[in-house]
Structure formats: C-alpha cells, structure tokens
C-alpha cells in the first residue's frame, strides 16, 4: 500500500514535470546566457569567461529583443561579430531549442566556418556539447554543416550561392554572415536575401541578423543597403579632455583630407607606435589608445533614425577594436596601402567598414539635355533615313502597374532616333493593358514623307515572373508580327548582344539579351557626336525625367581583393532607370533582327538592303496599311516583293 505522503510527493513531482513542459523558456538575455555558459577557448583572441565589449552590448540585446525583426551590423574586422553570432546561436539552441540558419557566401566558406568556428564553439560550451547529436547515424545525427541537438534545436550553415539549399530549410532565426560576399542574382528568384526573407515570413517572430564588412561598391553593397534602411546607429564616446560625445572617425566629416588618427613615421616609412594618437574633433586634444576602452565603456549607440525600431542598424570602423596596439596597426596599413588601389580598397572595406567605388563609365544628364534641345523633330514622326522601326516595352509592377514603351528608328549606319514614348497604365498581370499597347502598335507611325509604318520588331521585357503568363498570352498569337518576349541576362551562350532562348514556353520563341553589353553600347553611343554613324538622337520633347533615367546607371569595376579579378556591375545612381533598360532592349532588338530574324540585313550587302528599305519608307507613294507589318514581308518574301 502506498502511503498518503508518498502519493502526494509523486503528484507534486508529476505536476512539476508538466509545469516544466508548459513553462515558457526562461527569460534570459543572450549576454546573461553567454556569461553563464561560455568560456572562450585558448585559441581565441580573448580566452576565458565571456564578457561583451562596450559596442557589443546593445547589438546583442537587439538580437534577443522581441520587438526587433532585423539587426544589421556594418562592421570592420576584429569587432567580435563572430562571437555575437556564436552567442546568439548558443542562446537560441540552449534556451529556445530554435531552428536556426546561417548563410555563408559559398559552400567552401560554409564548411570552413563549421570546422574553424562552430565545432570549436560547441566543444568549448558544455551546455551545447552535452546536447549535440553525434554523427552516429545519418537519420538522427549531425553532419559538418547541419548540427542537431537533442532538445529539438538545429543549426544549418548554408551556402548563399545555392538557392535550393536555402529553400529547403525552415528557420525562425537567420544569420547572414559576410553578406557582401553573396552573388547578386539578376532574377529575384535566385537572390539569397529574398529567399530567406520569404521563408522567415512563415514565422510570426522570425528574426534576421545581417553582418558584413563592405566588399561591394556603393549602390550594390548589400550591407550598406541594409544599414541605410535601418535605424543607422553610430557609437559615441566622451572625450577625456572636453567630455564631448563623438564617434571615432577616420576623417574629419567636413574636411575629407584631414585625418583624425595622427602618427609619426621613421625613415623607413614605419609608423612609430608611441606617436600614434587620436585627435578630438571638438577640442583638438590628443587621445591615447590606452584611454579607448574606458571611453567606449562610458559611451553609447546613437540611432540617427530612431523612428525605425524594427530594424536596428549599427556601423563601426576599426578604431573601435579593443585589441592593444590596433590604432598603430591601422596607421601602418594605411601608410602601406598608399598608391595601390587594391590595398586601399581593402583598407577602406575592412578597417573603415565603408564602401569603395572604383572609377566608372557613365553619361552626364546635362550633356543629354543640351543635345536633345537642339533636335526639334515632332513627336511620333519617323525621320528620313530610318530603315527599321523597333519597339521596346518595359513591364513595371510597382504601384498599380504600367507598361512603358518606346519606338526607335534605326538607319542603315545604325544611327538611332527616338520616335515615340508612351506609358500605358494598368496591371501587367491582366490582359487589358496589352490590348491598349496593341492598339497603339497597330496604329503605326507616320514617316515625315507621309507613309505609315508599323514596327518591324516588338520586344516585351518578361523578366518579372508574375507577368510571364500574360505576356506570353499576348505575344503568342502575334508572333507573325514579330512581337516577342525577351529577358536580360548576365551572360549568353553565344557571342553578341542577344540570342534566341533554347527554352520555349507555349511553343513560343523568346529572346535573351546581354544586359551588360547592351547597356555599354547605349552608354558609348550616347556620348557620340550628333549625326555621327551609330549616334543616338533624342528629341527635344523628351522629359527631364526620361533623360535623368538614361543617366541613372554607372558601370563600375569591382575587383576582388583576394583573387585580383575584376568584374563589372551596373550601379543605379537614381531610383528609376526604365529609360536605360528600354535603350538596352533597343540594341538587343537591332541584333535580333539583323543577326537572327533577318540575317540578310547584316554585313555590307545588308547595309545596301537597309538603305533600300529606308528609301522605300521615305517614298510617300508606298503606303503600308495598318496591321500589315513590314516585318512579315522580310521573313516570308524577303525584304522586297
């Protein structure tokens, strides 16, 4: 027989067990967890019990603040970002049994991260080492990149370059490490940032941490874009002399040639460590590095956009690193980098946590305006000499949606004339807006000598996946009028500006254009003298907005510091850039018609044929009825009947 006392004890124990199951996880911050559970291994920069540096405190707090959805740290190296990640990871697994995901730029960097940091961190943290499932059996155990824990938590380190890997994992907490190293995908569908954000939206309390040193130019850098969207925190420290609260800066904000870290050099161009000091921007007094920690300890983050509370952003340069002698080290690296673009870029990225933009190709909007003002052609009239009329359509889903279309006339020597430009408001996922476009196309354009011309080729931008169906529905029955979908891509399988895509949807032809090459053609030709062969002619009636859009992109070189390999990217300098996209499609169209659809139009003989076409269009007696596309004549019966 069980005694009353024993039964009561068992009941209490059972109740406690149930309570434990239902109790919310203990309310403990990342810092409290890390102080209690983390001992940094001897190999780490600062071995022993964890204690956050002054600038790390608030960042870590934000990582576990339920009101914060996103934490952005645009940082120099050696500011302890990895440890913030490690602590967040340990806290998430140990306290909340979360599913967590980390992105590294590539599979190699993901594996290095696991071997060099993750394994070490788990081993040196008993709370995690005790619950990690060993790699005993494939079904339940952990692998190098996929750690599973017996409390239900999991941590996966994915390669940002592999969209399939990113789509396969559900995670409530995502860490984007070295985000500036992720490839930029031209199609949104493959962009790692967009994929993880979509997956995070499945959780009401999903959270994102983005940390990186900048590596890309302004306008492309993911970390800079993320920081610009954030609360934009900077760290202020009181001056030991005048008590003014200021951030540590490399340069004076108003005088870029005035550096605030001062030092003397010996005859071998070596920085003399004892001479290195920082200058207070307010009182001008010298601040030695040994005072730095206590200054930072008395400092705090100031958010320049305090109204943004869900996205906390932090920026800190290398002057905040707490390693002894770091200022002298930075001074020496700065001295050594002078005269070498790549080393300078590395210094600016890694120590100043700023973007670095190499000189680029662009066009001046003022120049375009002056040029356009001299060309007083009326709108919608085809000038003398035009042989081919090409239409480009850009599809925009923003707001209520619209199509932007333009008509470009090409002469036999590749001079290009903007003939007309039209915006069709309407949802591009519905058919109506395309019907409006078609009426415009069928109406055609009058040649200055009286003949009516309909377009030889119409290209519709089909890169937005949501609009593909409606675009194909429109193009398919109009293929014999040479109305086709087209898409800009990074590289083609053949040489040239455009090619036909091997993949067919609804058994329809579709074309790919080389975005970079086509935009470069536009850029170089915009800079040609008026009336020179291949020059671009913009009429006086175009709006300033249109001209600004044409100058909205800049081609910049991006050199990888490690491999010294240079690639080129287009950086937007303004918000809207439809006009430059349209002109890029115009050159894709020129290539498609003269190389693919009617190759008889290329080469010296092709030029003669184009001249004859221009003469035909200019003879007022030759009238083309609307609906009968000259393009059809080129294909089926040759250019001349």
CB 426 within 8 A of CB 400: yes
Residue ranges binding Zn ion (CB under 5 A): 239, 241-242, 280, 282-283
Nearer to Zn ion among residue 278 and residue 445 (C-beta): 278
CB 103 within 8 A of CB 171: no
The DSSP secondary structure of 409-448, one letter per residue, reads EEETT--EEEEEEEEEES-TTSSHHHHHHHHHHHH-EEET
605 burial class (0-12, 13-18, 19+ CB within 10 angstroms)?
Answer: exposed
Nearer to Zn ion among residue 281 and residue 337 (C-beta): 281
Q: Which two tokens stand for residue 612?
A: 């004859």
Smallest separation (angstroms) from Zn ion to the CB of 277? 12
CB 276 within 8 A of CB 286: no
Nearer to Zn ion among residue 260 and residue 407 (C-beta): 260
Nearer to Zn ion among residue 242 and residue 310 (C-beta): 242
CA 631 to chain centre: 39
Q: Mapping DSSP to helix (H, G, I), strand (E, B) and coil, where does residue 77 land?
A: coil
Smallest separation (angstroms) from Zn ion to the CB of 240? 8
| Greatest distance between any 2 Cα atoms in the chain | 117
Q: Mapping DSSP to helix (H, G, I), strand (E, B) and coil, where does residue 254 land?
A: coil
C-alpha pair distances (Å), 299 with each of 81, 90, 570 = 19, 27, 40
Nearer to Zn ion among residue 209 and residue 295 (C-beta): 295
Sign of torsion over alpha carbons 7, 10, 15, 18:
negative
Give the separation between CA 460 and CA 73, rounded to whole angstroms: 40
Smallest separation (angstroms) from Zn ion to the CB of 316? 20
Crossing angle of helices 30-37 and 81-96, rounded to 10°: 90
Smallest separation (angstroms) from Zn ion to the CB of 286? 10
Smallest separation (angstroms) from Zn ion to the CB of 258? 16
Nearer to Zn ion among residue 241 and residue 369 (C-beta): 241
Smallest separation (angstroms) from Zn ion to the CB of 243? 7
CA atoms in the 13 A half-sphere facing the CB of 278:
29
Smallest separation (angstroms) from Zn ion to the CB of 246? 8
User: Cβ atoms within 10 A of the Cβ of 26, count?
Assistant: 9
Smallest separation (angstroms) from Zn ion to the CB of 55? 20
Smallest separation (angstroms) from Zn ion to the CB of 347? 26
CB 485 within 8 A of CB 463: no
Nearer to Zn ion among residue 242 and residue 620 (C-beta): 242
Nearer to Zn ion among residue 140 and residue 243 (C-beta): 243
C-alpha pair distances (Å), 205 with each of 85, 171, 176, 269, 335 = 18, 11, 17, 54, 47
Smallest separation (angstroms) from Zn ion to the CB of 283? 3
Beta bridge partners of 235: 301
Nearer to Zn ion among residue 284 and residue 366 (C-beta): 284
Nearer to Zn ion among residue 292 and residue 329 (C-beta): 292
243 burial class (0-12, 13-18, 19+ CB within 10 angstroms)?
Answer: exposed
């Amino acid at each position: 027989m069980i005694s009353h006392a024993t039964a009561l004890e068992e009941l209490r124990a059972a109740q406690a067990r149930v309570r434990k199951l239902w109790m919310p996880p203990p309310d403990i911050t990342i810092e409290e967890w890390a102080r209690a559970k983390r001992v940094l291994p001897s190999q780490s920069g600062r071995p022993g019990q964890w204690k956050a540096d002054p600038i790390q405190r608030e960042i870590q707090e934000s990582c576990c603040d339920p009101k914060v959805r996103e934490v952005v740290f645009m940082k120099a190296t050696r500011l302890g970002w990895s440890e913030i990640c490690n602590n967040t990871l340990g806290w998430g697994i140990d306290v909340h049994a979360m599913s967590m995901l980390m992105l590294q730029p590539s599979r190699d960097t993901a594996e290095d991260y696991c071997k060099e940091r993750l394994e070490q961190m788990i081993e040196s943290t008993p709370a995690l080492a005790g619950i990690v499932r060993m790699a005993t059996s494939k079904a339940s155990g952990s692998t190098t990149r996929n750690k599973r824990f017996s409390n239900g938590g999991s941590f996966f380190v994915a390669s940002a370059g592999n969209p399939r890997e990113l789509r396969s994992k559900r995670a409530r907490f995502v860490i984007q490490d070295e985000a500036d190293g992720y490839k930029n995908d031209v199609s949104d569908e493959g962009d790692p940032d967009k994929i993880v954000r979509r997956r995070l939206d499945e959780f009401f309390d999903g959270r994102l941490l983005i940390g990186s040193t900048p590596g890309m130019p302004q306008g492309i850098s993911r970390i800079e874009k993320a920081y610009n969207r954030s609360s934009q925190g900077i760290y202020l420290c009181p001056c030991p002399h005048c008590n003014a609260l200021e951030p540590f800066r490399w340069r004076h904000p108003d005088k870029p040639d005035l550096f605030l870290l001062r030092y003397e050099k010996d005859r071998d161009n070596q920085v003399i460590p004892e001479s290195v000091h920082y200058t207070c921007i307010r009182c001008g007094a010298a601040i030695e590095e040994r005072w730095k920690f206590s200054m930072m300890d008395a400092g705090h983050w100031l958010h320049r956009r305090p109204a943004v509370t869900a996205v906390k952003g932090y920026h800190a340069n290398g002057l905040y690193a707490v390693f002894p002698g770091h200022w002298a080290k930075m001074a020496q690296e700065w001295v050594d980098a002078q005269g070498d673009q790549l080393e300078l870029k590395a210094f600016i990225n890694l120590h100043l946590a700023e973007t670095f933009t190499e000189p680029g190709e662009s066009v001046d909007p003022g120049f375009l305006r002056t040029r356009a003002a001299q060309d007083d052609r009326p709108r919608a009239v085809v000038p003398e000499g035009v042989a081919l009329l090409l239409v480009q359509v850009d599809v925009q889903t923003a707001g209520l949606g619209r199509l932007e279309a333009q008509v470009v006339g090409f002469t036999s020597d590749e001079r290009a004339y903007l003939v007309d430009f039209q915006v069709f408001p309407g949802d591009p996922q519905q058919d109506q807006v395309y019907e409006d476009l078609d009426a415009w196309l069928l109406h055609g354009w009058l040649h200055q000598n009286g003949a009516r011309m309909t377009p030889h080729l119409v290209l519709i931008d089909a890169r937005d996946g949501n609009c593909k169906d409606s675009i194909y529905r429109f193009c398919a029955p109009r293929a014999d009028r040479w109305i086709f979908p087209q898409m800009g891509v990074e590289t083609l399988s053949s040489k040239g500006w455009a090619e036909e895509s091997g993949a067919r949807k609804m058994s329809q032809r579709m074309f790919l254009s080389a975005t970079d090459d086509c935009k470069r053609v536009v850029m170089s030709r915009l800079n040609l003298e008026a009336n020179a062969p291949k020059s671009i002619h913009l009429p006086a009636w175009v709006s300033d907005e249109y001209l600004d859009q044409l100058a909205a992109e800049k081609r910049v070189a991006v050199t990888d510091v490690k491999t010294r390999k240079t690639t080129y990217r287009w950086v937007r300098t303004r918000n809207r850039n439809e006009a430059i996209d349209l002109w890029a499609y115009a050159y894709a169209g020129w290539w498609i018609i003269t190389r693919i659809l009617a190759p008889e139009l290329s080469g010296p003989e092709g030029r003669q044929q184009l001249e004859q076409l221009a003469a035909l269009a200019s003879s007022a007696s030759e009238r083309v009825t609307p609906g009968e596309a000259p393009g059809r004549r080129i294909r089926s019966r040759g250019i001349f009947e």
